């Protein structure tokens, strides 16, 4: 351990790990363990320690169930027991000059119910080797982090993220990072929660730039968002209150939530864990606030994959079960104009009805709001860049499904996680191109293509490499109903 790196933060000294040219400090508390009186309460500062703290392993993961319904084949679950779930992890170059380095903070996804910073795909070594101090955070999930019950603040998991980002501002200089150059990056649910933070008046206190990958931009009323908690309470025979939920062990809450959520998905089928509007974490709907001008001083990189829906439609068999009649009923129910269906058919004349439905749902949840958001910032103080990831995985006809871009963004195509999802032959040149763009945004504030304008430029990453397209889905998005 003689070559183990040591860093000191305000709560004590940390002994990390040196792996070649990268130092790692793992499982660093940014808040007290959310147990006892701190369970179902806003995050509280961690206790200090006297001895040098071992920072060679990840902290405990938030209580959760493994993926099911076929998703477990592609999406890993890491289970690390313990109470200290509110931790951060830092990767930094082993050899540093006196110059402070830009910082990237990653918020994992998992539908607010699963995921962790300990998943191998989120290792930050590739960014550290490019001169970036990379931080990943853990936050409360499921009912522990997003219960909508009496006497509990909404969206505790988002308050955890705020606390972690404030920790970065205070402490990152100890690892060579520049607290004045912090980029936050979130994927899926992590992008949704960062959208909520971007919409806050104090967003600039938390980060200087933000990357939003495949994240919904809206939340739900307490009544709608609380559906999951009410059903969990009913299943367990408890009251939907802080006292009722605190009387149940976390594992039982997870089990009840999993049973209630069976058959649901982030695309809107059945009860799910979701962002609740109306409290400190999200006082108003994030998209509404952003369209009204919130966050316009913060540069944004935002986008989605070309076939988001396939992650949920392929493993479950929904893709082939949807008929033309089903599609027409869904279209009419959502008040989607027939011409939008026709526009999708023109682009993909051989598409199954399930594929057309998946495209429209993805547009309503992601691409439509993303485009409205970017348009609202045209006269703002900071630029916006839009991307679309279109490389199609050969694995089980997943195509360019939700999450497929992660192995490319992190430049980690050779990891077991990436191979399970994208196969063993993902184009390394595309990973290098995409990773380079993300690095440029973190370092210089510009990913390297034309920023958003009335021409609607979108940088497309696909089998042909990276190329710019203008308003590539205009016919499909024009007149799309808002949710």
Determine the distance from the C-alpha atom of residue 18 to the mean position of all C-alpha atoms in its chain, rounded to a whole number.
28
Q: Which of 116, 126, 136, 188 is catalytic?
A: 188
| Cβ–Cβ < 8 Å for 384, 377 | yes
**Any catalytic annotation for residue 308?**
yes
**CA gap 175, 173 in Å, rounded:** 5
Tally of residues, the chain? 483
| Cβ–Cβ < 8 Å for 84, 63 | no
Question: Which residue in this structure is represented by tokens 């490319």?
Answer: 408
Who contacts 73 (Cβ-Cβ below 8 Å, separation ≥6)? 315, 396, 420
Tell me phi and psi for residue 54, to 5 degrees.
-70, 120
Q: Which of 144, 171, 308, 388 is catalytic?
A: 308
Q: Which of 306, 402, 435, 476 is catalytic?
A: 402
Report the relative pairing of strands 17-19 and 22-29 from DSSP bridges.
antiparallel
| Cβ–Cβ < 8 Å for 220, 141 | no
Give the count of beta carbons closer than 10 Å to the beta carbon of residue 223.
10
Using CB atoms within 10 Å of the CB of residue 249, give its burial: 0 to 12 exposed, 13 to 18 middle, 19+ buried.
Answer: exposed
| Cβ–Cβ < 8 Å for 293, 238 | no
Question: Which residue in this structure is represented by tokens 């002994």?
Answer: 15
Report the relative pairing of strands 457-462 and 465-470 from DSSP bridges.
antiparallel
Query: To 10 degrees, what angle do helices 227-236 and 250-261 make?
Result: 110
**CA gap 120, 385 in Å, rounded:** 28
**Any catalytic annotation for residue 56?**
no
Catalytic residues: 188, 308, 402
């Amino acid at each position: 351990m003689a070559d183990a790196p040591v860093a000191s933060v305000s709560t004590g000294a940390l002994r990390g790990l040196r792996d070649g040219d990268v130092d790692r400090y793992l499982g660093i508390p940014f808040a007290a363990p959310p147990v006892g009186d701190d369970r179902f309460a806003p995050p509280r500062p961690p206790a200090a320690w006297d001895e040098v703290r071992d920072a060679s392993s990840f902290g405990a993961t938030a209580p959760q169930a493994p993926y099911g319904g076929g998703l477990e084949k592609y999406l890993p679950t890491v289970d690390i027991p313990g109470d200290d779930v509110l931790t951060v992890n830092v990767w930094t170059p082993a050899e540093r000059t006196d110059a402070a380095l830009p910082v990237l903070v990653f918020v994992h996804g998992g539908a607010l119910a699963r995921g962790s910073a300990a998943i191998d795909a989120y290792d930050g070594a590739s960014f550290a080797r490019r001169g970036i101090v990379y931080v990943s955070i853990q936050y409360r999930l499921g009912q522990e982090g997003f219960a909508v019950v009496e006497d509990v603040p909404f969206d505790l998991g988002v308050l955890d993220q705020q606390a972690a980002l404030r920790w970065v501002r205070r402490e990152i200089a100890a690892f060579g990072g520049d607290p004045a150059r912090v980029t936050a990056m979130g994927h899926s649910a992590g992008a949704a929660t960062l959208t909520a933070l971007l919409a806050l008046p104090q967003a600039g206190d938390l980060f200087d730039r933000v990357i939003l990958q495949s994240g919904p931009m809206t939340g739900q009323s307490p009544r709608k968002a609380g559906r999951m908690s009410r059903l969990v309470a009913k299943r367990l025979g408890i009251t939907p209150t802080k006292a009722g939920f605190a009387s149940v062990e976390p594992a039982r809450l997870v089990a009840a939530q999993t049973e209630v959520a069976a058959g649901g998905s982030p695309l809107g089928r059945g009860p799910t864990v979701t962002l609740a509007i109306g409290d400190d974490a999200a006082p108003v709907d994030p998209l509404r606030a952003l369209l009204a001008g919130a966050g316009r001083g913060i540069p944004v990189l935002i986008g989605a994959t070309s076939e988001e829906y396939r992650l949920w439609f392929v493993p479950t068999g929904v893709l082939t079960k949807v008929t033309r009649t089903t599609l027409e009923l869904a279209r009419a129910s959502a008040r989607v104009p027939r011409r939008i269906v026709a526009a999708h058919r023109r682009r993909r004349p051989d598409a199954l009805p399930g594929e057309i439905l998946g495209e429209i749902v993805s547009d309503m949840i992601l691409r439509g709001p993303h485009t409205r958001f970017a348009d609202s910032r045209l006269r703002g103080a900071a630029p916006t860049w839009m991307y679309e990831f279109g490389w199609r995985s050969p694995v089980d006809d997943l195509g360019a499904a939700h999450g497929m871009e992660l192995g490319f963004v992190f430049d980690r195509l050779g990891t077991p996680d990436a191979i399970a999802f994208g196969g063993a032959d993902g184009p390394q040149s595309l990973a290098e191109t995409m990773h380079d763009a993300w690095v440029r945004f973190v370092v210089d504030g510009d990913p390297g293509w034309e920023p958003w304008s009335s021409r609607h430029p979108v940088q497309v990453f696909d089998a042909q490499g990276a190329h710019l397209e203008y308003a590539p889905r205009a016919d499909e998005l024009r007149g799309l109903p808002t949710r």
